[in-house]
Amino acid sequence: MQNLRKRTPLYHRHLEAGARMVPFAGFEMPLHYRGIVEEHRAVRQRAGLFDISHMGEFLIRGPRAGEFVQYVTTNDISRLTDGRAQYSLFCREHGGIVDDLIVYRITASEYLLVVNAANIAKDLAYLIEHNSMGADLVDISEETALLALQGPASAAILRRLLADPDPEQIPYYHFRKLTGGRFLGCRRALISATGYTGEPGFELYMEAERAPAVWDALLEAGQDLGLVPCGLGARDTLRLEMGYCLYGNEISEDTHPYEAGLGWVVKLEKGPFVGREALQRIRQSPPSRRLVGFRLQQRAIPRSGYAITDAEGRRIGQVTSGSHSPILEVGIGMGYVETAFAEPGSQIWIAIRDRLVPAEVVKPPFIERRP
Amino acid sequence: MHIPQELRYTREHEWIRLEADGTAVVGITDFAQSELGDIVFVELKPVGTELEQNAVFGTVEAVKTVSELYLPVAGQIIAHNEAVIQDPALINRDPYGAGWLIRIQPRDPAQIEGLLSAEEYQSMIGVR
């Protein structure tokens, strides 16, 4: 069978806009349109529009939907009310991370789970395996489009297309469900004040057929405010400047939440959930390695897989993500290091080709946080 | 895609121009810079380094990728383009002009004749 790459509903918009397309998680996605640095700065200073329709969406419904979501995720959904969202994890019984996700509580008996594109099939299998409650589980990834409008001008742009509710009035990690065409003719839209850039902004879910019209309307509404289409390249450098984990880089089935600095989304006291016993055990012994952020002290760029060493060149860890920071204009990265080197201010070295480049451990975000 | 007639090219997307004084200037092509995207870092072997043909003389890094630079002909590095080290985006803006990388003293200028012509380079990268 031919292994065809999937396309989002905006594929032709990307080609028309001159995007450089790259394979990502089985999809053909835009890497950049005008350039990663320019798009990155647009998001920090004005606004950017991303097509992230490759992401996976599952609907969980039924009288035991909440009980099921509580059992398969590490965070505590009893803290959610209708219209609120939460960052969370799926973990294996041994504590390894299956995926990171956002849980939306639409009602007490309906939840939306948004997962990484590369993990859709694996996550679905994980959910089915643990669904002894018999909750309705529907994969709506194919028919759902997702756009991210990110940057300080986002609310002003969205307000031009949506009077009620006022986008400015949706607090961070809250959302509104708008049905029956209330948002640009969409039958079902969900406007969520979330994102992966560190800037104020929105993630907009809608049926796939409406995505091109919504994309066009947003770009037109935001043109005079400097809105530009942005690709996955800028999405990655923006999240890295904030120190956000990327599944497959910082976190995987071989990492657990505590060493990754994600202990804050594991609520051991909430009751039974998959991985709880292992995570309780892991938490009691201090981790042997920790995920840290670091900033190079000489001009160079760290990359995923490079060794992290001490002054003598002894290997103490490995880079998980690295790039040039378009805002700081220095090399920045994240990686696991032995716990003794994990304190902010620690001196480490990155092995880049034939030399050791000095770097300082810093606590992300690398730039000032604004939302 | 701009491919000046008067230059010679490598399969690894470097160009070289022989000057009247017998030295030669080396850079990367318009195609290469466009494939790489925003170039944000350039690292070059020190001035004075003697290298064989096709030896690595440095690296260019775009936001997402690292690429090695291969010397089109054997020779000694006699100068760096300091401006491009300070502002690597010059390579994106003007790959055949202000974005040049190094000046070399070729050991055997005849080696340049063995490199790809503009037409050959064009057909190698295909019509774009």
For residue B33, give the chain A residue with the closest CA. Answer: A35
Q: According to DSSP H, which parts of chain A are helical?
A: 11-16, 36-45, 65-72, 120-129, 154-159, 211-222, 232-242, 276-284
Was domain A288-362 assigned CATH 1.10.357.10? no
Confidence of residue A302 (pLDDT cuts 50, 70, 90): very high
Q: List own/partner pairs for A82-88 with CB under 8 A and 24 or more apart.
A: A82/A106, A82/A107, A82/A108, A83/A174, A83/A175, A83/A176, A83/A177, A84/A173, A84/A174, A84/A175, A85/A173, A85/A174, A85/A175, A85/A192, A85/A194, A86/A173, A87/A173, A87/A265, A88/A265
Query: Reduced to 3 DSSP states, what percent helix, strand and coil does chain B have, rounded to the nearest 5?
Result: 25, 35, 40
- C-beta atoms surrounding A367 within 10 Å: 16
Q: What percent of chain A has pLDDT over 70?
A: 98
DSSP category for residue A160: T
* Pairing of the two strands A227-230 and A47-51: parallel
**A11-55+142-242, which class in CATH?**
alpha beta
The alpha carbon of residue A225 is apart from the nearest alpha carbon of chain B, in Å, by 24
CATH architecture type of domain A56-121 = 2-Layer Sandwich (3.30)
Q: Give the 3-state DSSP-derived string for A204-224, with helices as H, strands as E and coil as C.
A: EEEEHHHHHHHHHHHHHHHHH
Mean pLDDT value of segment B77-100: 97
3-state secondary structure of A235: helix
Mean pLDDT value of segment A257-264: 97
Confidence of residue A1 (pLDDT cuts 50, 70, 90): very low
Whether a cis peptide bond, with omega within 30° of 0, leads into A257 is no
| Pairwise CA distance, residues B6 & B65, whole Å | 29
| Pairwise CA distance, residues A143 & A209, whole Å | 8
Type of residue at A244: Y
Comma-separated ranges of CATH 3.30.1360.120 domains in chain A: 11-55+142-242
* Pairing of the two strands A110-115 and A56-61: antiparallel
Burial of A245 (0-12, 13-18, 19+ CB in 10 A): buried
Query: pLDDT tens digits for A10-39?
Result: 999 999 999 999 999 999 999 999 999 999
DSSP category for residue A71: H
Residue B51 pLDDT > 50:
yes
Spatial CB neighbours of B2, under 8 Å, sequence gap ≥ 6: B30, B95, B96
Enumerate domains of chain B plus CATH numbers.
8-122 (2.40.50.100)
The edge-to-edge listing of strands for the beta sheet with B66-70 is B39-44, B56-62, B66-70
C-alpha distances (whole Å) from A138 to each of A110, A142, A241, A268, A370 are 11, 11, 34, 28, 35
Residues of chain A neighbouring B40 (CB-CB closer than 8 A): 37, 301, 324, 326
R_g of chain B, CA atoms, integer Å: 13
| Pairwise CA distance, residues A311 & A161, whole Å | 56
Mutation target to probe the A interface, by most A beta carbons within 10 A, among B35, B40, B68, B86 is: B40
| Pairwise CA distance, residues A136 & B75, whole Å | 70
CB B102, CB B23: distance < 8 Å:
no
What is the token pair recorded at A32? Answer: 């950049």
DSSP assignment of A310-332, as one string?
-TT--EEEEEEEEEE-TTT-SEE
pLDDT number for residue B126: 86
Type of residue at A209: E
| Pairwise CA distance, residues A259 & A250, whole Å | 10
Instruction: Indicate the residue of A233, A300, A353 with minimum beta-carbon distance to B63.
Output: A233
Q: What is the mean pLDDT of chain A?
A: 96
pLDDT number for residue A368: 82
| Pairwise CA distance, residues A362 & A113, whole Å | 32
Q: State the count of interchain CB pairs (< 8 A) between A and B.
A: 40
Instruction: Indicate the residue of A299, A300, A323 with minimum beta-carbon distance to B63.
Output: A323
Comma-separated ranges of CATH 2.40.30.110 domains in chain A: 288-362
Residue A158 pLDDT > 70:
yes
A positions 109-148 inside 8 Å of B (CB): none
Q: Output phi, psi for B116, to 5 deg.
A: -70, 140
Comma-separated ranges of CATH 3.30.70.1400 domains in chain A: 56-121
Mean pLDDT value of segment A356-363: 98
| Pairwise CA distance, residues B33 & A251, whole Å | 32
A positions 141-180 inside 8 Å of B (CB): none
A19 touches chain B (CB under 8 A): no
Query: pLDDT tens digits for A68-114?
Result: 999 999 999 999 999 999 999 999 999 999 999 999 999 999 999 99
pLDDT number for residue B127: 57
Contact A326 B63 (CB under 8 A): yes
Query: pLDDT tens digits for A322-332?
Result: 999 999 999 99
C-alpha distances (whole Å) from A165 to each of A149, A156, A178, A184, A352 are 16, 13, 9, 13, 50
